[in-house]
Structure 1
Amino acid sequence: MPLFKKRTVGKPGEWFYCLEHQKVEEGPECPAKDRFGPYTSRTEAEHAMATARERNLQWENDPKWHDAPEGGSEDGPEGGREG
């Protein structure tokens, strides 16, 4: 008996965004590698790319995930001094 059953049809109310076709799907139509979701509404799935951009931006600017800025201080490699 397989540990996981392959689900070919999604549950009613599950929405996905297909990255390959750039469209919203009810239920998983495309392979998991090509989609975001599940979302609880069609509207959430329609905004999947905007949500991903916002989350990426938050992650990129989260100080917990970054060490010191590249090149030394914020003023540049020379610390803002003129030589």
Structure 2
Amino acid sequence: MPLFKKRTAGKPGEWFYCLQHQKVEEGPECPAKDRFGPYASRAEAQHAMDTARERNLQWETDPRWHDAPTGDTRDTDED
């Protein structure tokens, strides 16, 4: 008996954005490594890449995630 069962169908109303096919899918059709979600609506899933881009920008500009002191914009990786 397998330890984990393969989940073939998502919950009703779950939407995903497939990174491989670059399309919105209802239910998890593609492997988890290739998708974002679940989202509550098709519209949210359609904007998955925009949401990811916005979150990445927030993370990149958040001073709490950088080791450099505030105001220090020098590149610390020197060869």
**What TM-score does the superposition give when structure 1 sets the normalisation length?**
0.79
Runs of 4+ in 1 over 3 A off after TM superposition: 1-4
Secondary structure of 2:37's counterpart equals strand
> SS of the residue aligned with 2:24?
strand
Structure 2 regions of 5+ residues with no counterpart?
Answer: none
1:64 equivalent in alignment to 2:68: no
Distance, in Å, in 2 between the alignment partners of 1:37 and 1:71 is 34
1:28-67 CA distance string (max 9 Å, x none): 0011110000000000000000000000000000000012
1:11 deviates by 1.0
Q: In 1, Cα distance between the equivalents of 2:19 and 2:75?
A: 36
Amino acid at match of 1:31: P
Count how many residue pairs are aligned between Structure 1 and Structure 2.
72
The alignment partner of 1:25 has SS state of: strand
Q: Secondary structure at the match of 1:21?
A: coil
1:50-61 counterparts in 2 under 5 A? 50-61=50-61
| Separation in 1, partners of 2:13, 2:29 | 14
Match of 2:14 in 1: 14
Identity rate, percent = 83
Kindly tell me: are residues 71 and 4 of structure 1, through their superposed partners in 2, closer, same or farther at Cα, counting changes over 3 Å?
closer
Rg (Cα) greater in structure:
1
Structure 2 SS opposite 1:52? helix
TM-score scaled by length of structure 2: 0.82
Pair 1:23 & 2:23 matched? yes
